[in-house]
Amino acid sequence: MPVPVILDCDPGHDDAFNILLAAAHPAVELLALTTVAGNQTVEKTTLNARRVCEVAGIRGVPIAAGRDRPLRGGPDREPRVAADIHGGSGLDGPGFGEGEPDVPQDPRDALTLIRDTLLTHPAPVTLVPTGPLSNIATFLLAHPELTPRIERIVLMGGSTGRGNTTPAAEFNILCDPEAADIVFSSGLPITMIGLNATHQARATPEVVARIAALGTPLARLCVQLLTYFAGTYREVYGFDTPPLHDPLTVAHLIDPSLISLVRAAVSVELTGTHTRGATVVDLHGVTGRPANADVGMEVDVPGFWELVIDAVRVLGEPAEGPPDTP
Ligand code: RIB
Ligand code: CA
């Protein structure tokens, strides 16, 4: 049986590939997409989610917008964005044009769409947040009665080591540490795929060349996304190749053998002057805190890229089948 999922995302180049992977692979049933402020404003991340679905031919998956700011954000506190990595649109690189995508935005807000999806789906649903946890935390606070309908939360965020936005904090967690604390304290089954794992999943020139060789319009768009992403990661972090963080969440659901896991107590630092937003992962059980998450560690990188490249292939093929071979 495919794993029913809701992606809560902030597209974002890597979020975009996670959407493709969830839509393409038969082991996953993509029930809904919700968006959140993160890499860019929620208006832009929502437009980007619609654009990705349009170019990939993903239809019938409702897309609803969520929170425009963190739980502690107020009208005077503009949310943090990551324009240095994802650009002013949040999905710079391809020329999407100015027109509205032909994939509509659902009239419901994110929390209503999540609620409706959990109530109508016949089995518990896995939530896959790959942006700040503002929507997920707000949903858990608003609908405690629906937690039995949540199978697990598989999130991209945090790190067992250093951060990427401060020396201590990873972007998704730092954007809304209070939300992350609520999620990690919820008692729900959690899988945390952090930077210590995602930094292994680099989009090398060989990977990009394999995607380019697919020769479809979607493949060309993916190459444009990865090329832009590689440029900003080189400029900002000095990485020779960019880590594609978010698709490791769905890849883990497709094939749990791809990422090794350890059980650990994960705490979110809320007050540290220099460490706010850090995920403090007690890998050796020295704190005595009960383990509250399965933490991703070692990645089967070739196996991961096979899934991603195949998703681009499957979605890029015309409905009537693969392009004529030359
Ligand atoms: O720190 C990386 C994470 O922050 C990724 O999910 C990226 O898309 C941004 O949301
Ligand atoms: Ca993201």
Residue 232 bridge partners (DSSP): none
pLDDT of residue 319: 64
- The two beta strands, 190-193 and 279-282, are unpaired
pLDDT of residue 172: 98
Distance 202 CA to ligand 1 centre (A): 14
Rounded to an integer, the average pLDDT of 321-325 is 51
Length of the chain: 326
Please write the tens of the pLDDT for every residue from 206-216: 999 999 999 99
Instruction: Concatenate the DSSP letters of all residues of 19-80 into one string.
Output: HHHHHH-TTEEEEEEEE-SSSS-HHHHHHHHHHHHHHHT--S--EEE--SS-TT--TTSPPP
Distance 215 CA to ligand 2 centre (A): 27
Closest CA relative to residue 50, chosen from 109, 128, 102, 97: 102
Residue 130 reports pLDDT greater than 60:
yes
Lowest model confidence (mean pLDDT) among 4-13, 40-49, 96-105, 215-224: 96-105
Ligand closest to 170 (CA) is 1
Closest CA relative to residue 297, chosen from 202, 201, 193: 193
Ligand closest to 7 (CA) is 2
Query: pLDDT-based confidence at 227, cuts 50/70/90?
Result: very high
How much is the CA Rg of the chain, to the nearest whole Å?
A: 18
Assigned CATH topology for domain 3-316: Inosine-uridine Nucleoside N-ribohydrolase; Chain A (3.90.245)
Q: Is 230 exposed, middle or buried (0-12, 13-18, 19+ CB in 10 A)?
A: buried
Amino acid identity for residue 220 in this structure: R
Distance 32 CA to ligand 2 centre (A): 16
Rounded to an integer, the average pLDDT of 198-224 is 98
Q: Tell me if 156 CB under 6 Å of ligand 1.
A: yes
Residue 275 reports pLDDT greater than 60:
yes
Q: Tell me if 246 CB under 6 Å of ligand 1.
A: yes
Lowest model confidence (mean pLDDT) among 135-139, 264-268, 322-326: 322-326
**To test the ligand 1 pocket, which listed residue (8, 9, 14) has its Cβ within 8 A of the most ligand atoms?**
14
Please write the tens of the pLDDT for every residue from 151-169: 999 999 999 999 999 999 9
Task: Report every protein residue that has its C-beta within 5 angstroms of ion ligand 2.
Answer: 10, 12, 15, 130-131, 246
Please write the tens of the pLDDT for every residue from 32-58: 999 999 999 999 999 999 999 999 999
Query: pLDDT-based confidence at 322, cuts 50/70/90?
Result: low
pTM: 0.96
Domain boundaries, the chain: 3-316
Residue 324 reports pLDDT greater than 70:
no
Residue 63 reports pLDDT greater than 70:
yes
pLDDT of residue 320: 62
